[in-house]
Amino acid sequence: MTAPAAAGPPAGPAPAEETSRPAADGGTGRTAEPVDTHCPYCALQCGMRVRASGGGGVPAEVLERPAFPVNKGALCGKGRTAAELLAPAARLTTPLVRGADGALRPADWPEALDRVADGLRRTAAAHGADAVGVFGGGGLTNEKAYALGKFARVVLRTSQIDYNGRFCMSSAAAAHQRAFGLDRGLPFPLADVARTGCVVLVGSNLADTMPPALRYLTELRENGGRLIVVDPRRTRTAEQADLHLQPRPGTDLALALGLLHLVVAEGRVDEGFVAARTTGWERTLPGVMAHWPELVERITGVPVPQLREAVAMFCDAPESMVLTARGPEQQAKGTDTVSAWINLCLATGRSGRLLSGYGCLTGQGNGQGGREHGQKADQLPGYRKLDDPAARAHVAAVWGVDPDDLPGPGRSAYELLDALGRDVRALLLMGSNPVVSAPRAAHVAERIEALDFLAVCDVVLSETAALADVVLPVTQWAEETGTTTNLEGRVILRRRAVDPPPGVRSDLEVLAGLARRLGRPEGFPADPEEVFAELRRASAGGPADYAGISYARIAAEDGVFWPCPEPGSPGTPRLFLDRYATPDGRARFTPVQHRPSAEEPSAEYPYYLTTGRVLAQYQSGAQTRRVRELNAAEPGPFVQLHPRLAARLGVAEGEPLAVTSRRGRVVAPARLSAAIRQDTVFMPFHWPGEGRANTLTNPALDPVSRMPEFKVCAVRLERAATP
């Protein structure tokens, strides 16, 4: 490894850094025509229209876009209020640098960029290239994710890059790869869900996390289909189910094995499909047969009659699907858990055919595209593997560097955060807030504070940005153009609809300015369409091939499904109908066995904690907590517990309840609900401070995906003193 170029003084700001942007209203000051674009939040990437208001306060309004096929005009409260964050009063509008007194103060862009470049350069010179880390986000556009990965490997020459999408669907991605040879969240359009015969929804509360997608489950039942929901809580989504299975947290793997055991015992295996289109069934069968129904009932708490009913619903339907989300995936055995659900689909022939299959509901806005194009520690653009010599040669040729100069795979997200202040001494962070969102968050905050240097690019002064040495204010969704890839693998185009406030720059401009200062004046354009053109070349021939996709084509077709290798290719809405992406074209069964969670309840910590989202907030809350309507609907953290458990503890509705794990203690008001198991409590993870749920969560990692075990840990509960 070599350090970033350090010869000579830092270059001054180049003219491109001061590029003037045309006003969204053409400079007239009048209200502009609405612009078709997409929501900044979840992986549905709902279509919307944004119209610049041309006045003070909120500079735009959000309108419906009924023609976009995913949401057909429907928007949740988060999408409907998204324009509020465009107001200058709601966000950062000038760079901040930490002064000699320890406080952040306003600065101009040349000073701020010089400070960042100097901090990264000095760290690499003193400690080596890998002492500089890069941490990205699942909300970055494809162009920004691509440029950030290239910047880390070409300019900084560091292997230490990962992103918060590792915390999203990495377990499902790993299971996809080993079963199908390819990872795309949904291998079919979301509209197919409404046309199948039975859906098993595992660990997802669409009613709160992706409300516009709930229409597909409603349409499913209107069409005569059946819905099975697997969740320790009776959520608003579970209330719509024909059957709700309510397992103990951390037992989804045993549940899937138990259902497949019954499939075998009842003679429901599709022997023809297994023989013609799969491999590995014989090695998988012994582990399945070791999980007989009564054992699975003891492990999961799900009664045997419900297991049998679920198998009948799933297998009696002519077509069926399994959809998983964070519930089964955010576990230290998440990859094996997803593999068990895939095995169920393969054994019953519910894969590789129209209206049947397994899919993962990606969470973050660009969680799919963010890992396809280079933010993940072990991947290059096009979903290529970083340790594959052919992949390195292809991408290096596009980047104009020697393949041997590209660093190898680095640490996964939590491992990178845990190394801060030790092996990794400086960090460039873009679009993430790990002080709230990472597991064992108090420890992560300590590691961030131990850094020699931290630079953060963000729209708002998040809890993580508040710890930085330099904070760079960047543009957001409606102020910039760029592509994202939604949960279906549909590449879509967010269009610029309004002007950013003066003093705000795009992440691409930031990277271009830093690259110049670090000795790379070429190769980092600030124009997103130019970056996308290079991304297309870098992805060409890879598993996630975007070569045939262009901005013009996306606009004309309401998005294009990858892989799309040529301009004349129709794209691929449905994968695996003819063959899987494995060398022999067959799907692969994976032998798996249930094992306990990394941390089970004990005498000292007798209850399960599981975490998740609520309707009015999103991820770490850095954005949604600044929107008045959303904050009024859900203003703070809480602990959901069963009334009988509350009675045993002597705690009433709204009283402060202390929750303690082996990693820390939090306090939040009790919220009583019969919708949750009596051995389990639930906390949303959107808030910092005393009620920060991720203070408690376990960073135990899945051995394959390196996903932390957010969804289950052991806690004790006690009444807290009323403030």
Q: For residue 321, tell me if it sits in a domain.
A: yes
Residues 343 and 398 in one domain: no
The fraction of the chain above a pLDDT of 70, given in percent, is 95
Residues 541 and 401 in one domain: yes
Domain hosting 691: range is 607-719
Number of structural domains, the chain? 4
- Pairwise CA distance, residues 545 & 541, whole Å: 6
pLDDT recorded at residue 14: 36
Give residues with Cβ within 8 angstroms of 260, minimum separation 6.
288, 291, 340, 343, 344, 347
Last residue of a domain, one of 360, 394, 409: 360
Residues 188 and 259 in one domain: yes
Residues 346 and 214 in one domain: yes
**CATH code of the domain covering residue 441:** 3.40.50.740
pLDDT recorded at residue 54: 58
C-alpha distances in Å from residue 608, one per residue of 232, 361, 567: 10, 24, 51
> What predicted TM-score, i.e. pTM, was given to this entire model?
0.94
Residues 332 and 403 in one domain: no
Q: Which run of H or of E encompasses 264?
A: helix 252-265
Residues 351 and 389 in one domain: no
Within a 13 Å sphere around the CA of 14, how many CA atoms are in the beta-carbon half? 20
Residues 409 and 503 in one domain: yes
- Pairwise CA distance, residues 352 & 483, whole Å: 28
Q: For residue 570, tell me if it sits in a domain.
A: no
385: burial class by Cβ within 10 Å (0-12, 13-18, 19+)? middle
- Pairwise CA distance, residues 236 & 207, whole Å: 6
Residue-wise pLDDT for 420-445, tens only, equals 999 999 999 999 999 999 999 999 99
| Location of structure tokens 């037992």 | 251
Taking a C-beta distance cutoff of 8 angstroms, is the pair 667, 658 a contact?
yes
C-alpha distances in Å from residue 298, one per residue of 304, 307, 678: 10, 12, 16
**CATH code of the domain covering residue 260:** 3.40.228.10
- Pairwise CA distance, residues 545 & 455, whole Å: 32
Last residue of a domain, one of 45, 73, 90: 90
Last residue of a domain, one of 44, 72, 90: 90
**127 alpha-carbon distance from chain centroid:** 32
Q: For residue 663, tell me if it sits in a domain.
A: yes
Q: For residue 575, tell me if it sits in a domain.
A: no
Residues 419 and 272 in one domain: no
The sign one gets for the Cα dihedral 436, 440, 444, 446 is positive
**CATH code of the domain covering residue 618:** 2.40.40.20
Taking a C-beta distance cutoff of 8 angstroms, is the pair 88, 56 a contact?
no
SS3 content of the chain, % helix, strand, coil (to 5): 35, 20, 45
Q: Which run of H or of E encompasses 683?
A: strand 680-684
Q: For residue 11, tell me if it sits in a domain.
A: no
Residues 220 and 319 in one domain: yes
- Pairwise CA distance, residues 580 & 271, whole Å: 18
Residues of the chain with pLDDT under 50: 1-30
Q: For residue 336, tell me if it sits in a domain.
A: yes
Rounded CA Rg of the chain: 25
Give residues with Cβ within 8 angstroms of 418, minimum separation 6.
443, 444, 447, 699
**CATH code of the domain covering residue 48:** 3.30.200.210
Q: For residue 120, tell me if it sits in a domain.
A: yes
pLDDT recorded at residue 431: 93
Q: For residue 24, tell me if it sits in a domain.
A: no
- Pairwise CA distance, residues 643 & 487, whole Å: 37
Residues 551 and 648 in one domain: no
Residues 75 and 204 in one domain: no
Q: Are strands 60-64 and 47-52 parallel, antiparallel or unpaired?
A: antiparallel
Residues 224 and 272 in one domain: yes
Identify the three-state secondary structure at position 713: strand
pLDDT recorded at residue 55: 62
